[in-house]
Structure 1
Amino acid sequence: MKALFLGAGASYECGMPLVFEFTNGLRANVLKRLDTKLFDFRKDPSFRTRFEAILSDPDLHYEQMIGELEALQLRRDPSSEIARLTALQLVDCVQILLLEDQELTTKFFAEKAKDYSGIKAMLAKHRCLHVFSLNHDINFEEICKFHGVQCRDGFFDQGVDRYTNIANFKSLTKQQLDNGNLNLFGPEGLGVNLIKLHGSLDMFAVEDKNLYLKCTPTAEAPIGGHVQEIRRIENHSVELSQRVNLRTVGELDVTDKDGEIQFLRRSLLSGAHKFKGTFDQIAPIAFFEEFKKRIAAITDLDVIGYGFGDHHVNEVLRQWAEASNVSLNIYDPYRKSIPTFLDDVADRVCIFNFGLTEYFQIFDPPKKSFFSSIRSKMLESVRENLRKRRLSLWQDSRDA
């Protein structure tokens, strides 16, 4: 049985940034706002300098920055509380900037999505395909929708009436999560089971984590429909915050159909202490447990765009790879060697130096023509310009 495992590199060709590429923009945007009300250092003004040093360290990417703040919180000294609040606000910044990236690349992605028609041909060979993803973006959902592929993510299609004024949602209750009752295809089903391990831009917890909501676009919505639903929530929250002159961290303040204030807690999971139980976590642990359970039945795993930087994931992969009947294929344009934790099973690990686009073209080879060649070069040029733009944000902030 085949499955895919997706990291940030899988979304790179769609316009989304790699880790350090995204960090450049985050660092530049946060540093220039340290003297605004975005962060509150009034109880410990000296912490601003410590935070600035973390942000300015060129060797740290954004998850490591959050990890540094988490480590300061765990010291349980007078700076612990401000470190906690600063980490929460930084994760909020990550969510906001990722959403902006998703919006800014929508037109590019709408064209690029045409290159992933191989998903349909792949399903002809592998009727029930598990896709495990670490990505917060909603690109794979959009790819499936664009190509008419059924995709289930564990959430049930019925929404909750009290929140319909905010956005279109699917829902999943805590009881369903605890019972392992997820809306996924069975072995005889035809479609994609998408299991997102680290939360998502469009996933929120509400009612003390007894209910989870996930944005869903209307059936007729074009690519970008997911983003529009998330933006509706953000705009709703901004309007309410401005009206009551109050802003919370780590959650969006909204009002339901009855006018009651509700708090939609963001699900993005980031930092150095994922799934350790050290910090409150919004992304449901049940999805990670589902990953561990379902990977046991996989014999052929294709890992696309993952840098093997998450220890909790690597441990699962290491244990899975010990089975003698499994094989692992790594798709990464730049990787030359296998991760050291897989050295003992190196004979069953292969590396291919290309990404998601060429991967799907294996299943549906494109027709070669002069037009297709020009189009491909244009898309590569646009993608390279996005990379340069994000790099220049950090360079401009240093020169300012």
Structure 2
Amino acid sequence: MIRGMSDAADQVEVQSAEEQLRERRRNAARVARRVLWRGGLSGTIRQRLASLAEAAPEVYDVDESADIYGNGVVTALEERVATVLGKEAAAFFPTGTMAQQVALRCWAGRTGNQMVALHALAHPEVHERHAFAQVSGLRPVRLTSEPRLPTAEEVRDFEEPYGALMLELPLRDAGFVLPTWEELTEIVEAARERDAVVHFDGARLWETTVHFGRPLDEIAGLADSVYVSFYKSLDGFAGAALAGPKTLVEEAKTWRHRYGGMAFQQFPTALSALVGLERELPRLPEYVRHARVVAAALREGFAEAGVAWARVHPEEPHTHQFQVWLPYDADMLIEAAVRQAEETGTYLFTGYWDRGGPGLALAEVTVGASGLEWTADDVKAAVADFVARLSG
């Protein structure tokens, strides 16, 4: 009895400690004067609503009636996305998880094949509780687990027939990596040789233009359908879109209703997405280029600070996001990052540090508008201060 009570008390204490750290991180992000990226997590509800109220009139007539079940501003957003991606039509979805399930089950109905070929690190495999199989009756098969996109050979030579190839561009869990343009076109051609449709998980497709050296419509044009997110890079409140042939999109809207995605009104989310397309999308190439400056400075900074082993991956980021690997315990790195923010107002690593192996941890770094203010020397100075806290 006493032992059980003690275990329960310990659990409450651990939960309390985790919640306290979460609150410290949240407060640090809000008050820090210098961060590489703020995003929606650091703003209060008041701040985010005020920002939307200020920006919305630039992108839509806010004196019009609010949307009802997907008309009005939601339709305007769908048309804008279709134009930007060079597709016949687009449909708004409340989440990317729903959008991709719907897209791939629609394609399965057309091809007669429930099998979806993808990477072992693809988002639906790692982060969506096996929704493809559990909810939509699809059968995911893994082309590779290597920390890169599948090769044309792996796509062409896979031993079973599949109806759809899903490519996550960039592949987040491998370090936000992309293939070269030539590799991507070869991968798509290999899928066509297998009579498979090609679907892009383009949650972060918006920022791939610098790496590929191509406009968005040309990139999206390689795929039969594309999913994009409005909050990951565009700083929208939430939401996603599926773009592709008009017949596919019309069927997808039917399934959207069946999946519970036909909300009564969605104008705040739709307006925030339109604002993101207007304000953030044109700036993403600048963020990508500066991310390369930041990544190089981080690498040099850790070397100058005497860290025996540190990695920035990819060495030259493919997008405005990348990974940093350090030879320390994850909890120690989280505490050092938060203390640096609390004591200096500089929050160098706002992301969560995850265990990457024995004695190793990794964090994701994003460079946004606020990161453009950082010079290489600023980054190296922040690194020196951060490392000093690891030994203090």
TM exceeds 0.5? no
What TM-score, normalized by structure 1, do the two folds share? 0.23
More helix by share: 2
